[in-house]
């Protein structure tokens, strides 16, 4: 009989926190993404837009600027007193930020899981102390962090900046703007992340995955209108995720939405999309594809 | 394979395990106890080798029965993967990674901090002989180097169970020899090293224990010589080279259990088939001494994995 000596010693030191380990996924994904010049330019554009808005907020409070244009500071102050409202933030920040987030998802999303599946890399990930949910969270973080940088983080900074310029009363009167930016952006980020992850898991060819994303966001809108018209219902709108997000954001900001879709139907839409995406991910993200 | 002094918490145990992919059978009613050392999984394509490996690594869950790895259940990834290292048969490397980054990133996923992960990465690359190429991109590695970096990622966190799916595929003889040396080192450290391979003579050379699989069933397991001795329907073949083969043939043929004694010109000796090898060897000693034969070689001719595979798997297929 063979004699086996157990002469090695296992590592007994401290381990890093669980969340730290999940952050390994986005860290290496960023290395790839940040190399892309298209990405760099687009990110710059997104951040420049926030900077432009910050300038717009600042200009009415800059006496030197007002005087340079030979304007009366009092008239300017009165004119802009009710200018930077929830509606301004909705139209000038939320809608462009949401659109830019969608474009960024088109660029980054389709590559997240595809390469792991195509190269049979899932077995390597799942033979670590990582569960499937942690893997999904890790991969989603790639988009969550990037989209946060161009949506709610600059949004809240703008809100904070305007509060600083206008004072505490403005902040109290317009607290819905901050809530709207934060909650609205997070819902949108989650929807975008999960849809792009699910597509990335199923559609292995990048251009096809991008096209599928496009179909979901734009063509589904057309289909929703057709369903609503033909069946004389509002339920078709559930598949028009962009319109539904518009309704949700409008309600969060306390402004009138463009469509008459009931709010609960609007909230059902992202829930439905997220649920379907999670089911699809749970079915697809297995270390070995079981072919029957 | 079972040593009565060992407990289930020290081994890999399959307890009546079946795995079905829908209606397709992966493995069926597998009872196994795999002790430390090198164990090879042998069988034709689709026999269930990779299924067994995936069950050990928890990447698949059994449809029926239980698998425990050193007392741990595979549905506890947090504990299990501290003890298990897996080297897949696929070359799946993140794009643009160097050998060092590849190992380091997985160690960070394991929860090791930067200095520990760096040290472990260096040690592991050194072990497989890749220190010099650590900072080169894996895309520029040769096949042998890629196999070695895969082995390095499987051993880098110091697991006590190593599951290596066809680790010798595509390697030249020198690289194979180096890899086999690493496997042996790992086995002598007391680790469970489970290897799947199609290269039968290498399996014979590498491992003390084999598990032969066919169509989802374990057809034999254990030390290959013990497995061979239990195959009574196939008499053991013994090759003898001596000065008077014809005389020796007539003497041994008088013994009970000897079913054939044939002078084989190809093998340049006498090929004896016996159903009872132990009795034969005792009687053979007496015959040689009594008759003053000058023996050059006495060696079993079909006591290896290749022969057992032929009898248990290929032979049965032919019969069917």
Kindly report the nearest CA distance between residue B193 and chain A, in angstroms.
12
Query: Is residue B229 scored above 70 in pLDDT?
Result: no
Instruction: Give me B290's structure tokens.
Output: 């009594």
Residue A207 maps to a domain = yes
Residue A12 maps to a domain = no
Residue A101 maps to a domain = yes
- Please answer yes or no on whether A15 and B108 come within 8 Å at the CB atom: no
Domains annotated on chain B, with CATH: 8-228 (3.40.50.300), 235-301 (3.30.70)
More confident of the two residues A83 and A272: A272
What domain range is A141 assigned to?
Answer: 18-284
Q: What is the pLDDT of residue A280?
A: 92
Q: What is the pLDDT of residue A37?
A: 85
| Chain A: residue whose CA lies nearest to B159 | A10
Q: What is the pLDDT of residue B194?
A: 94
More confident of the two residues A119 and B185: B185
List, for residues A167-207, the tens digit of each pLDDT value.
888 889 888 899 999 999 999 999 999 999 999 998 888 88
Paired strand residues for B237: B273
B193 contacts B39 by C-beta, under 8 angstroms: yes
| Chain A: residue whose CA lies nearest to B192 | A4
What average pLDDT does this structure show over B41-54? 87
B82 touches chain A (CB under 8 A): yes
Query: Is residue B315 scored above 70 in pLDDT?
Result: no
The closest CB to that of B90, out of A32, A120, A129, belongs to A120
More confident of the two residues A249 and A78: A249
Per-residue buried b or exposed e for A34-72, using 16+ beta carbons within 10 Å of the residue's own CB: eeeeebeebbeebeebbeebeebbeebbeeeebeeeeee
- Per-residue CA distances from B176 to A184, A291, B168, B224 (Å): 58, 32, 6, 22
List, for residues A38-62, the tens digit of each pLDDT value.
888 889 999 999 999 998 888 888 8
What average pLDDT does this structure show over A252-279? 88
List, for residues A14-24, the tens digit of each pLDDT value.
888 888 888 88
| Chain B: residue whose CA lies nearest to A17 | B111
Query: Is residue A1 scored above 50 in pLDDT?
Result: no
User: Looking at this predicted complex, what is its ipTM?
Assistant: 0.71
**pLDDT confidence band for B152 (50 / 70 / 90):** very high
Number of domains chain A is built from: 1
Q: Which region among B135-139, B281-285, B306-310 has the lowest average model confidence (pLDDT)?
A: B306-310
Q: Which region among B87-91, B155-159, B302-306 has the lowest average model confidence (pLDDT)?
A: B302-306
Interface test with A, best of B109, B157, B184 (most A CBs within 10 A): B109
Q: Give B-chain residues touching A24 at CB under 8 angstroms.
A: 105, 108-109
Kindly report the nearest CA distance between residue A283 and chain B, in angstroms.
13
Q: What is the pLDDT of residue A2?
A: 47
**pLDDT confidence band for B3 (50 / 70 / 90):** low
User: Is residue B278 packed enough to be buried (19+ CB in 10 Å), middle (13-18) or exposed (0-12)?
Assistant: exposed
Query: Is residue A271 scored above 90 in pLDDT?
Result: yes
Q: Which region among A246-250, B116-120, B230-234 has the lowest average model confidence (pLDDT)?
A: B230-234
Query: What are the respective helix, strand and coil percentages of chain B, to the nearest 5?
Result: 40, 30, 30
Residue A4 maps to a domain = no
- Please answer yes or no on whether B111 and A10 come within 8 Å at the CB atom: no
Nearest of A110, A92, A93 to residue A150 by alpha carbon: A93
Query: Is residue B91 scored above 90 in pLDDT?
Result: no
Kindly report the nearest CA distance between residue A201 and chain B, in angstroms.
16
- Please answer yes or no on whether B54 and A288 come within 8 Å at the CB atom: yes
Query: Is residue A143 scored above 90 in pLDDT?
Result: yes
What average pLDDT does this structure show over A19-30? 84
């Amino acid at each position: 009989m063979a004699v086996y000596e157990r002469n090695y010693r296992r590592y007994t030191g401290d381990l890093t926190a669980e969340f730290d380990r999940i952050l390994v996924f986005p860290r290496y994904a960023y290395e790839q993404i940040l190399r892309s010049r298209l990405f760099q330019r687009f990110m710059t554009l997104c951040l420049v837009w926030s900077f432009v808005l910050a300038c717009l907020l600042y200009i009415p409070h800059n006496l030197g600027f007002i005087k340079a244009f030979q304007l009366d500071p009092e008239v300017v102050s009165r004119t802009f007193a009710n200018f930077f409202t929830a509606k301004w933030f909705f139209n000038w920040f939320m809608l462009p930020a949401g659109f830019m987030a969608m474009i960024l998802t088109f660029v980054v999303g389709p590559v997240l899981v595809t390469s792991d599946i195509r190269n049979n890399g899932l077995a390597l990930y799942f033979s670590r102390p990582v569960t499937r949910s942690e893997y999904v969270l890790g991969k989603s973080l790639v988009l969550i962090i990037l989209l946060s940088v161009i949506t709610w983080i600059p949004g809240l900074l703008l809100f904070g900046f305007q509060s600083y310029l206008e004072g505490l009363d403005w902040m109290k009167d317009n607290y819905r703007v901050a809530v709207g930016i934060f909650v609205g952006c997070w819902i949108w980020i989650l929807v975008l992340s999960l849809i792009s992850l699910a597509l990335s898991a199923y559609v292995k060819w990048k251009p096809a995955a991008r096209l599928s994303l496009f179909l979901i966001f734009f063509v589904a809108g057309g289909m929703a209108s057709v369903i609503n018209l033909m069946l004389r219902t509002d339920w078709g709108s559930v598949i028009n995720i962009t319109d539904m997000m518009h309704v949700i954001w409008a309600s969060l900001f306390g402004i009138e939405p463009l469509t008459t879709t009931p709010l609960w139907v609007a909230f059902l839409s992202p829930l439905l999309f997220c649920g379907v995406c999670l089911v699809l991910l749970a079915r697809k993200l297995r270390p070995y594809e079981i072919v029957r | 394979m079972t040593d009565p002094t060992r407990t289930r918490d020290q081994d890999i145990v399959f307890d009546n395990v079946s795995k079905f992919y829908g209606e397709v059978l992966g493995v069926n009613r597998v009872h196994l106890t795999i002790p430390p050392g090198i164990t090879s999984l042998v069988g034709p394509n689709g026999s269930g080798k990779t299924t067994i490996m995936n069950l050990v690594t928890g990447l698949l869950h059994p449809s029926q029965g239980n698998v425990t790895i050193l007392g741990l259940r595979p549905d506890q990834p947090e504990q299990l993967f501290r003890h298990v290292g897996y080297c897949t048969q696929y070359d799946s490397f993140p794009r643009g990674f160097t050998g060092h980054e590849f190992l380091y990133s997985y160690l960070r996923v394991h929860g090791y901090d930067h200095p520990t992960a760096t040290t472990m990465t260096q040690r592991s690359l050194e072990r497989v002989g890749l220190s010099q190429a650590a900072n080169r991109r894996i895309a520029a590695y040769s096949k042998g180097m890629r196999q070695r970096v895969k082995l390095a990622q499987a051993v880098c966190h110091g697991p006590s169970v190593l599951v290596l799916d066809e680790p010798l595929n595509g390697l030249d003889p020198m690289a194979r020899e180096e890899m086999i040396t690493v496997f042996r080192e790992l086995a002598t450290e007391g680790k469970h090293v489970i290897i799947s391979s199609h290269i039968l003579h290498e399996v014979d050379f590498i491992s003390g224990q084999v598990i032969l699989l066919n169509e989802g069933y374990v057809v034999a397991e254990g030390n290959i010589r013990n497995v061979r001795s239990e195959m009574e329907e196939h008499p053991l073949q013994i090759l003898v080279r001596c000065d008077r083969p014809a005389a020796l043939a007539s003497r041994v043929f008088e013994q009970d259990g000897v079913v054939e004694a044939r002078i084989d010109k190809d093998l340049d000796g006498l090929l004896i088939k016996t159903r009872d090898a132990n009795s034969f060897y005792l009687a053979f000693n007496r015959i040689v001494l009594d008759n003053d034969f000058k023996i050059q070689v006495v060696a079993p001719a079909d006591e290896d994995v290749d022969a057992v595979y032929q009898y248990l798997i290929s032979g049965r297929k032919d019969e069917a």
